[in-house]
Chains A and B, each alone.
Chain A
C-alpha cells in the first residue's frame, strides 16, 4: 500500500494491456485479472493481519503496564512473522473421533467467508475489486458464513468445550445480526443505494460534515449500535463468550493446531478489519477527506476503528450469556428499529443536510 491510487490502477491497466497483447479473449481476460487481484488481496490481508496481531499485543501490553513483544527487531516488529513460521512447523494433532470432512473444511470456510468480503470494500478512490451493485447486502450475506464454520468446528472437533463454544457463537452472532442490519439500513435510507462506492460518494463534500456520523441524532446512534453489534459479530471481548478462555479454554478452536488454527486466527483478525472497514465506509465517509490521498484516509480511519475495538477488548469485562442475549433483544433491537423509523421520518421531512 505504498503506491498512490493512480499508480496502482496504472499497474493493473498495464497488466490488462499486456494480457490483451498476448491475445486473451473477453471472459478469460476478466478471469485472469480477477485471479491476479485475488492473490494481491490475499497478500495485503496477510500483511494487515500480521500487523494487527502485533499491534494488539503491544496495546494489550501497554494497557497492562508491560511492554508486549520486545525481542524480535525494534519493539518486536517481526514477532508475528516468527509466530507464523512457528505455526507452519507445528504438528497437526488430530482427534481420531472427529467428524473428518466437517473438521477439515471448517477453517477453510472460515477464512474464505472473511476473504470474500474484500471484493466490495473500497480501499480508496477506484481501489475496489468489483463494485457490485448489492455491495453491503453481499457483505452481510457472505460474512454470515463464519457462523456456519464456527458451528462446523464445534461439531467436528468431538469435544464438549468446542461444541458449547460453537453453539454459543451461533446464538450470539445470529442475535447481533438483527441490530447490525437495522443500523446499516439507516445509512441506506440516505444513500439510496447498496453499492459501497455509491454509499461513500453520498458522503462527499462539506469538508468532513457530510460523513454519516455527523448527522445528528440518528447517525451517531446508528454508528454506536453498529460498533456494538460488530464487536459481537467479530466475537471479540466484551462479547467473546464463544471462546472465553477461563470457562471454555478456547471454545470452538480447541482441537485445532498448526496451520488449521492459524487459519481461524487469521480469519478473526481479517474479520475485525472487515467490520472496521464497513464502519468506515458507512459512517466515517470512506475514502473522503481533505488534502491527503484517498487510500490514506481510508486506512487511517479503519485503523482508528480497529484501535477502538482493541481498547474495548482490553478494558471491558466479559458479559455473561444471559446479559448478552437480553442486551441484544431487549435493548439493541428496539433501539435500532426506533432509530430507523426516526431516520426515515427525518429523511421524509428533510431535517438533515
Chain B
C-alpha cells in the first residue's frame, strides 16, 4: 500500500510547483490595473447583464445519461478483469445488462432527448 503514498506526494508536489510558479511570476511581472482593464472581455463592448444565467437543460439531460453509463462502467470494470475465469455465464449476463441499458438509450433517442437543438 506504500505506493499509494505516491499519489498524495504527487498532489502536494503538483500544487506546490504551480503555486511556486505563480509566486515567481509575481516577482517578475508588472502590475498596473485600471478600471478599463478589469471589466470582463466582451469583444470591446461594455458587458451587459450577468453571465451567470440559467443554462439550457440539454446539459442536464446528457449529464443524467452519462451518470447511468458511468455506473454501468463501475460494474463493467470488475467484470472485464475477472472475465478470463468467469466464462460464458458472465458473458450472457453482461449482454443482458448492456441490452437493458441500450433499451434506455433507445427510449431517450425516440423521445428526442439525444437531439441537440
Contact = CB atoms under 8 A, between A and B. Distances in A.
Interface of A: 27, 30-31, 34-35, 37-39, 41-42, 88-98, 107-108, 111-112, 115-116, 118-119, 129-132, 137-138, 155, 157-163, 167, 170-171, 174-175, 177-178, 181-182, 185, 188-189, 192-194, 249, 254-255, 258-260, 262-263, 321-322, 325-326, 329-330, 333-334, 337, 340-341, 344-345, 347-348
Contacts of A181: 70, 73, 76
A188 B28 contact: no
A264 to B, nearest CB: 11
Contacts of B14: 38, 42, 111-112, 115-116
Contacts of A254: 41
A159 B40 contact: yes
A259 B29 CA distance: 10
Contact of A348 (B50, B87, B115): B87
Contacts of B18: 107-108, 111-112, 263
A137 B83 CA distance: 16
B38 A263 contact: no
Contacts of A330: 109, 114
Nearest to A345: B91
B81 A93 contact: no
Residue of B33, B63, B80 with most partner-chain A CB within 10 A: B80
A132 B95 contact: no
B46 interface: no
B15 A193 contact: no
B40 A95 contact: yes
Given A162-B51, A263-B21, A322-B116, 18 more contacts: A34-B5, A93-B33, A97-B40, A112-B11, A119-B7, A130-B4, A130-B7, A132-B3, A132-B6, A174-B66, A185-B77, A185-B80, A192-B82, A259-B25, A322-B115, A330-B109, A330-B114, A334-B102
B65 interface: yes
A192 B28 contact: no
A147 to B, nearest CB: 11
A41 B10 CA distance: 10
A315 B60 CA distance: 33
A54 B50 CA distance: 39
Nearest to A115: B14
Given A91-B30, A155-B52, A325-B114, A42 B13 contact: yes
Interface in B22-69: 22, 24-26, 28-33, 37-43, 47, 50-52, 55, 58-59, 62-63, 65-66, 69
B31 to A, nearest CB: 6
Q: Give the interface residue-count category, chain B.
A: 35 or more
B109 A189 contact: no
Contact of B81 (A38, A188, A325): A188
Residue of B17, B19, B40, B102 with most partner-chain A CB within 10 A: B40
B9 A158 contact: no
A249 B117 CA distance: 22
Contact of A171 (B51, B62, B117): B62
A247 B23 CA distance: 33
A329 B65 contact: yes
B22 A116 contact: no
A254 B43 CA distance: 11
B22 A35 contact: no
Contact of A158 (B5, B26, B32, B51): B51
Given A171-B59, A185-B77, A35 B114 contact: no
Residue of B14, B17, B62, B81 with most partner-chain A CB within 10 A: B14
Contact of B25 (A31, A41, A92, A155): A92
Given A30-B5, A322-B116, A159 B29 contact: no
B37 to A, nearest CB: 6
Contacts of A130: 3-4, 6-7
B37 A93 contact: yes
Given A31-B5, A116-B10, A130-B6, A192 B83 contact: yes
23 contacts: A31-B9, A34-B9, A38-B9, A93-B38, A115-B14, A132-B3, A132-B7, A158-B50, A163-B51, A171-B62, A171-B63, A177-B70, A178-B70, A189-B83, A254-B41, A259-B21, A263-B18, A322-B115, A325-B114, A325-B116, A326-B115, A341-B91, A344-B94
